Amino acid sequence: MQAANPRSDREAERQGTGGARRTAVHLLLIVAVALMVCWPVLLFGVPNLAHDSSYHALLQRNFAQQLWAGDWYPRWLADLNGGLGSPVFFFYPALASYASSVFLPFVAGRDPAGWIQVGLGCSLCLILSGISAYYWLRFRGAPVSALFGAAIYVIAPYHTAIDLYNRAAVPELWTFVWMPLVLLSVEGVIARRRWAFPALSFSYALLVCSQIGVTFCFSAVPVAAALWLSERGQRMRTALATVAGMTLGAGLAAIFLLPGMLGGGRIHMEPLFDDFYHYRHWFLFQLPSLLDYKSRLLFLTLSMVACLATLFWVCLLRRPPRRERSAAVFYFGTGVFAFFFMTQASSPFWRVIPYLRFAQFPYRFGTLLTLAVAALSALAFCRIQEPRLRPWLYLTAFIVLGWIGADAWSASAAFSEWRRVPAERTRIDSLQTATFWPKTSPPGLWEKGRLEQFLSAHPARSSELTSAASGRRIGGATVASWRPRRFVLNVDAPEEARLVVNHFYYPGWRGRIGDSDTTIPAGPTSPDGLIQMVVPRGRYSLVVELARDGYERAGIAISLCSLSIVLAMGAMGLIKPRVAAGSPVED
């Protein structure tokens, strides 16, 4: 047996301590870069002049209030649509809302509209995206190169200038946290690391629960990475393991995905896929003027493509090692793929692949372009410092400084504190109107002024009791308690009666008298889509509740089953650890 070498042990300990200290410094620098570009969001909250800011403030404020009141998954938001309710989180991913809800107890007293709560969630998201990019890029490269690539990832214009300050696309912002972790997990699957398969499943599930459109845009990339970056003879095994991990990730997300994908016939789809949201209007190079949003998006996208090409050229100079060259080619191809799908040349694919319509906007592929630029930045960092490559360094620095300027200009234009704007630009919707309307509700209520007229005829959270035989008004039904998905009415019916509750009907609403097991079926009024049921005579408490339907129960069951499989595979080590030759990271 070989004797231990105290000197070698001390050296390894010093290197380990130094590595941990260096990692901590790098993470602090990433946090500093993120705070440099998002400090206005910390001060003022989510940009209130951005496209979707008021909508997300509305959703997440209501979501957080119900969550802290004990509703662990607030699918039905009772206060939306003037108090008539909305099934918004049956169909809308909730992960961003959970993240922002953490801050509600700290800001509730000074943030009635929800701006600051959502802004804190966005700031946390930007910081975490830089950290996840750092660990992804460090798997293949030096830590300092990973630091540079992560910084580029944070300040990239599609990430910060477009998604944060122009659009306030809060769910899409969270996809920037999970995409690097998915790709890091694929690298681990290639290297046969024990943690890789469970990490792939969990990170892909978190991506699904953040934004469906980006998930559709991105899902081909991990499989392509498994095929391209694996060693010959291992590609099929790696690709199959990647597909299996992503499939289990979709299973983990079934608690959201199943009701969202299969229950679409229960809501009006017109507001979600009307002419404004049609992909054909959002390709690049369609410029109505030189100062509009599309022009800014085009200019910033072209600057990212120019940076991508420059970095790729630098990566290929002086015959790099095969492993680095393979990664550079892959991520350059990913960037070209993303740019292609942002242009009108890709319109045949949008027509023949129906699921692409969930992306709605072709420019969502800018998320993939941002990933590609970050990866090539890390790969090119060491080479670009060579004296003979100084012109390429200056060009890259010029582009990056332009991105920082674009982030700063976008921030300066995104807040009413810094701009004089019409009052309607900053007004929160007093009726709290959502885009998700039950199919049984009258079509067109989302049009301006229609909901006000409807509420004047049907005041929210009130009820009407009429004789089942004659239709005349009789007795009464008063509200004893009102919570999302469950409210109690004190009914006084001298005879069998028809009860109408001014709250939108959705499949699953039903009545129950007191603590009995007798269920009273509910249905929608026509054409108003309100809850109605036939109740017996007498005085009693009527519990009206929205029970879990088959899609919800099946989604929960599939998620629990997938969780069991993922944990079992991780514990049993079915993806056995084996460090590949020359691998830069040990298990």
C-alpha span between 532 and 524 (Å, rounded): 6
> What pLDDT shows up at residue 136?
96
Assess whether 293 and 402 both reside in one domain.
Answer: yes
Q: Quick one: angle between helices 220-229 and 322-341, nearest 10? A: 160
> What pLDDT shows up at residue 424?
61
Query: Domain boundary at 414, 434, 467, which?
Result: 414
Please give the angle made by the CA atoms of 436, 438 and 444, to the nearest 5 degrees.
75
Assess whether 469 and 324 both reside in one domain.
Answer: no
Assess whether 406 and 469 both reside in one domain.
Answer: no
> What pLDDT shows up at residue 363?
92
Domain membership of residue 428 (yes or no) is: no
Assess whether 385 and 486 both reside in one domain.
Answer: no
Burial state string for 403-420 with b = 16 or more CB within 10 A and e = fewer than 16: bbebbbebbebbbeeeee
C-alpha span between 394 and 92 (Å, rounded): 44
C-alpha span between 422 and 248 (Å, rounded): 49
Assess whether 526 and 377 both reside in one domain.
Answer: no
Assess whether 289 and 141 both reside in one domain.
Answer: yes
Tabulate helix, strand, coil % of the chain (nearest 5): 60, 10, 30
C-alpha span between 104 and 539 (Å, rounded): 40
> What pLDDT shows up at residue 94?
93
Assess whether 379 and 463 both reside in one domain.
Answer: no
Neighbour count for residue 478 (Cβ, 10 Å): 11
Using a cut of 0.95, tell me whether the model's pTM lies above it: no
Number of domains, the chain: 2
Domain membership of residue 242 (yes or no) is: yes
Q: Which of 148, 204, 211 is nearest to 175 (CA)?
A: 211
- How confident is residue 555, by pLDDT bands cut at 50, 70 and 90? very high
C-alpha span between 157 and 63 (Å, rounded): 30
Cα 364 to chain centroid, rounded: 12
More confident residue, 475 or 275: 475
The predicted-structure confidence for 86-101, as pLDDT tens digits, reads as follows 999 999 999 999 999 9
Assess whether 64 and 139 both reside in one domain.
Answer: yes
Section 257-261 average pLDDT: 90
Domain membership of residue 34 (yes or no) is: no
- How confident is residue 265, by pLDDT bands cut at 50, 70 and 90? confident
**What mean pLDDT is reported for the chain?**
87
Domain membership of residue 317 (yes or no) is: yes
The predicted-structure confidence for 308-365, as pLDDT tens digits, reads as follows 999 998 888 867 788 889 999 999 999 999 999 999 999 999 888 877 877 888 999 9
Burial of 560 (0-12, 13-18, 19+ CB in 10 A): middle
Q: Which of 540, 548, 546 is nearest to 513 (CA)?
A: 540
| Residue 405 near residue 393 (C-beta atoms within 8 A) | no
Burial state string for 36-54 with b = 16 or more CB within 10 A and e = fewer than 16: ebbebbeebbbbbbbebbb
Amino acid at residue number 507: P
Assess whether 344 and 474 both reside in one domain.
Answer: no
Domain membership of residue 265 (yes or no) is: no
Q: Which of 16-30, 143-157, 249-263, 297-311 has the lowest mean pLDDT?
A: 16-30
List own/partner pairs for 513-519 with CB under 8 A and 24 or more apart.
Answer: 513/540, 513/541, 513/542, 513/543, 514/540, 514/541, 514/543
Cα 49 to chain centroid, rounded: 20
| Residue 478 near residue 490 (C-beta atoms within 8 A) | yes
More confident residue, 173 or 322: 173
User: What residues have CB less than 8 Å from 152, skipping those under 6 apart?
Assistant: 373, 374, 377, 400
> What pLDDT shows up at residue 423?
64
Q: Is the pLDDT of residue 377 over 90?
A: yes
> What pLDDT shows up at residue 425?
59
Compute CA distances 273 → 203, 269, 278, 286, 435, whole Å: 28, 6, 6, 20, 11
**End-to-end Cα, the chain, rounded Å:** 24
In this structure, the chain runs to a length of 587
Domain membership of residue 27 (yes or no) is: no
Assess whether 239 and 125 both reside in one domain.
Answer: yes
Q: Is the pLDDT of residue 427 over 70?
A: no
Domain membership of residue 146 (yes or no) is: yes
Residue 493: domain span = 456-550
The predicted-structure confidence for 447-458, as pLDDT tens digits, reads as follows 888 888 999 999
The predicted-structure confidence for 201-232, as pLDDT tens digits, reads as follows 999 999 999 999 999 999 999 999 999 999 88
Domain membership of residue 349 (yes or no) is: yes
Section 296-304 average pLDDT: 92
Assess whether 242 and 353 both reside in one domain.
Answer: yes
Assess whether 102 and 154 both reside in one domain.
Answer: yes
C-alpha span between 32 and 34 (Å, rounded): 5
